[in-house]
Amino acid sequence: MASPDAIRVLVFQVGDLACGVPAELAREVLPTAAATRIPGAHPVVDGLANVRGSILTVIDGHRLLDRVPLPEQEGVTIVVDLAGRAYGLRVGQVHDLYEVREEDFEPGEDLVGVDPALVRAVGWVDRQHFVLLDLESLLEPVVGT
């Protein structure tokens, strides 16, 4: 049972950066499947993928966060819900689902190489830090949420 002052966070790897999103935004984690490229799409969009009959826009988390991109079809895809729509976020790997107490977060304005507008906070689990992403701010320029 979750502590009342804790949030559940899905922590994953994007290049050299450990990132997290609130667990309620993550629907599932899937092996990365081939995505059909879309001419004229934003450069961070891998393309469209069919997931059990639903079409999903797949976004490369590495390009999105200015990291070296993974080769096609490597990594895993996190299906996230944002503003009532589902998107795929392709990342290197998922670490785990953690309960993080409020006191284990600190402001993330001074991170080197990460736009502070995309960061909600920096969290700590098992003496390792991760960047809690503001998913809406991160995806808005790409998908126009």
Domain ranges of the chain: 6-143
Paired with 124 in beta bridges are: 129
Spatial separation of the C-alpha atoms in residues 84 and 99, rounded to whole Å? 24
pLDDT in the model for residue 3:
66
pLDDT in the model for residue 37:
93
The Cα-based distances of 41 to 47, 142, 143 in angstroms read: 8, 9, 10
Domain 6-143 coded CATH 2.40.37.20: no
What pTM does this model have? 0.89
pLDDT (tens digit, 9 = 90+) per residue, 17-71?
999 999 999 999 999 888 999 999 999 999 999 998 999 999 999 999 989 988 8
